[in-house]
Structure 1
Amino acid sequence: MFAFAVSGLFLLLFWISVREDRRRFRNAVYLGLTCISLSVAVLSQIDRLPAGSGRFVAPLVLAVPALGVVALALFLIANGVTMARKEGVALANLLSLLAGLAIIGLLVLTALALATESNALAVPVATVLLVSLYVSFLFLCFLGYAYLYGRIAVRGDVDFVVMLGSGLIGGDRVPPLLASRLRKGMQIHAAQTARGGPAPLLLASGGKGSNEKVAEARAMADWLIAQGVPAEHVRLEDRSRTTEENLLFSERIMSESVPGYRCVVVTNNFHAFRAAMMARKARVNGQVLGSPTAAYFWPSATIREFVAVFMEHKLVNLIICGALVAAGALLTLTVA
């Protein structure tokens, strides 16, 4: 029962933290710890199952994650090939392929260490496995909570719908990825006006890049107006160069125009949770919603988002990873 009490404690911490602010990464960690402690609690009760059934349940519980890792690796490799074919051979497009190959490589090294029973190989492999397990835990926390965060629905009226910009095609045309955000913003605008609420202002946010002919906000506004949105319902924030600046500059416009405003921020679904964390730091009064993204694009983009979140908390993460590596090095010297 103690194991279930631990999972209950983590669940309580998760609930309190989410109630305080949905946009914290610690929510994801509490959720992950809840799931892990609950799994351990369930496994600890196997001996209470009917006679003989534990012999089947335990291997099944262990086999599912193992087979899942192999399936994940193959999926990531296949996705990486698709990304390279459709989006070009660039590091950002090869992240899923590299992740899949890394998983396969680690599995091969682990099997080799077990087969040879060599301490010289087993200890370094075990060290890499520990670091990989820690990073994988954080990634699964990020992935699971990002999925839950993406289920947030807009409740009540908002004053602004902020749409974050992205690069333009040919320096002045809205690409499909950005058009998805704009359509989501239009849907929120239309839904609020349809139920009799005041029309929210659509705030297009994005400055002019070095290779762009116009500011992204200008191209976004022109696209919205061409789709039938009244020009008076569109505002521009055309100075930002990064997501952080998108949110900071947009927050200033909103707070100056409507003190005590409420808003929603729209980006693509793979970017929503990280953008929400940045919105919290920028003191933006609103949640972040995600718009649909092509399925083949999602894995690499999600890995890229996780890497960015990992590095935003790099001090604590690098300390933990460094401690795991140091422990492995010490163990290597001990058994050498």
Structure 2
Amino acid sequence: MYAFLPALILFLAFCASVWQDRRRFRNAVLLGLTLTSLAAALLAQARHLPDTPAMIVYAAVLLVPALGVLVLGAALILNGVTVIRKEGARPATLLSLLLGLAIYGMVVLVLLAGRPNASSGYLAFVVAALLLSAYLSFLCLCFLGYAWLYGRIPARGGVDFVVVLGAGLIDGERVPPLLAARLRRGLAVHDRQVAKGRPAPVLLASGGKGTDEKLPESTAMARWLVENGAPPERVWEEDRSRTTEENLVFSQKIMSDAVPGYRCVVVTNNFHAYRAAMLARRAGVNGQVRGAPTAGYYLPSASIREFVAVFWEHKVVNLTICALLAGMALGAFLLDALYR
């Protein structure tokens, strides 16, 4: 049973980190390491099990993920076609299609490496690609798994503010469905707190005026909130921000000036909630982030985009690790060529 000790230690570290601050990216990594250690422990102990349970363990740890990669690649390609048909072809809508094709491209590379005449240089390239793919896949699964879990951890107690993050407007002045989902969720948080007999929180609409917009996003959002039942005196605007980070920085200033020691909930769409939570932590915002529903076909591309953004926000560490992994494959190739 000592094989499970690393998984237990990592799980306790994960719980302690979440308790300290559930918005950290290290929580996602610790969760991934816990599950990886658990899988390794199960494999190590499977040889001591009877045949049927052992086969179940081997299938769950080895076969299911292998088949899952092929299924995932096909699902991403089909989703990519759907997104392009609904949203048009542009870089943001091509992500799921490109990732699905990349998965099958990696499978082809590995199969070709099994040829008897495959050169050592090609094998080194495949090993480097596999190492990089494994690292990126691990980080992506950590991010997606913890993002799903984060969205289901309830925010406790009452809040002073409900901050709704802006998004682009239709025709430069109308609230689109994606932004309406955020506003609806923010209004639901407000109404739920009032129904519990607590003071009504301020609904803080956050979003500035884009170059192609006729008015600040916050103005259109505030108008939507009032038209849908929000008390006008409880609707405030933050109308200077252009990015999510500015949304949070400027909103933090408004809230801390009005109510020192405030607590808040930040509302965005579900695919964006975990990354927004990390940005909120960096901006010093005292609150958690809640996600509003998003159209199912849009989620894969949006989630990939969020992961790429998080990866790049930690680019020094990530690119260093990628360089070391590629260097290991290159080093092995050079040593093989030297002693051959």
Deviation at 1:152, TM superposition (A): 2.3
Determine whether 1:74 maps to 2:111.
no
Letter of the structure 1 residue corresponding to residue 262 of structure 2: Y
Determine whether 1:251 maps to 2:249.
no
* Residues 221 and 70 (structure 1), Cα distance of their counterparts in 2 relative to 1, 3 Å cut: same
Aligned counterparts of 1:57 and 1:153: Cα–Cα separation in 2: 33
Structure 2 gaps of 5+ residues are: none
Deviation at 1:165, TM superposition (A): 0.2
Deviation at 1:3, TM superposition (A): 2.4
* Residues 52 and 85 (structure 1), Cα distance of their counterparts in 2 relative to 1, 3 Å cut: closer
**Aligned residue in 2 for 1:12:** 12
Letter of the structure 2 residue corresponding to residue 212 of structure 1: E
**Aligned residue in 2 for 1:308:** 309
Deviation at 1:52, TM superposition (A): 7.0
Contact 2:173–2:214 (8 Å) recurs in 1: yes
* Residues 56 and 227 (structure 1), Cα distance of their counterparts in 2 relative to 1, 3 Å cut: closer
**Aligned residue in 2 for 1:177:** 178
Q: How does 1:1-336 map to 2 (within 5 A)?
A: 1-51=1-51, 54=54, 57-59=57-59, 61-116=61-116, 118=118, 119-336=120-337
Q: Percent identity?
A: 60
Deviation at 1:60, TM superposition (A): 5.4
The number of residue pairs the alignment matches comes to 336
Aligned counterparts of 2:63 and 2:51: Cα–Cα separation in 1: 21
Aligned counterparts of 1:23 and 1:51: Cα–Cα separation in 2: 43
CA offsets per residue over residues 202-256 of structure 1, 9 Å max, x none? 0000000000000000000011111121111100000001111100100110011
Letter of the structure 2 residue corresponding to residue 125 of structure 1: V
CA offsets per residue over residues 6-54 of structure 1, 9 Å max, x none? 0011011101111110000000000000000001001101111125764
SS of residue paired to 1:48: coil
* Residues 7 and 172 (structure 1), Cα distance of their counterparts in 2 relative to 1, 3 Å cut: same
Aligned counterparts of 1:24 and 1:285: Cα–Cα separation in 2: 14
Deviation at 1:195, TM superposition (A): 1.2
Aligned counterparts of 1:117 and 1:34: Cα–Cα separation in 2: 40
Aligned counterparts of 1:225 and 1:251: Cα–Cα separation in 2: 23
Deviation at 1:58, TM superposition (A): 2.4
When the two structures are superposed, what TM-score results if normalisation uses the length of structure 1?
A: 0.97
* Residues 278 and 56 (structure 1), Cα distance of their counterparts in 2 relative to 1, 3 Å cut: closer
Aligned counterparts of 2:255 and 2:124: Cα–Cα separation in 1: 56
SS of residue paired to 1:169: coil
* Residues 50 and 301 (structure 1), Cα distance of their counterparts in 2 relative to 1, 3 Å cut: same
Contact 2:147–2:273 (8 Å) recurs in 1: yes
When the two structures are superposed, what TM-score results if normalisation uses the length of structure 2?
A: 0.96
Deviation at 1:59, TM superposition (A): 4.8
CA RMSD of aligned residues (A): 1.3
Aligned counterparts of 1:328 and 1:278: Cα–Cα separation in 2: 35
Aligned counterparts of 1:27 and 1:12: Cα–Cα separation in 2: 11
Deviation at 1:120, TM superposition (A): 3.1
* Residues 17 and 59 (structure 1), Cα distance of their counterparts in 2 relative to 1, 3 Å cut: closer
Aligned counterparts of 1:126 and 1:31: Cα–Cα separation in 2: 26
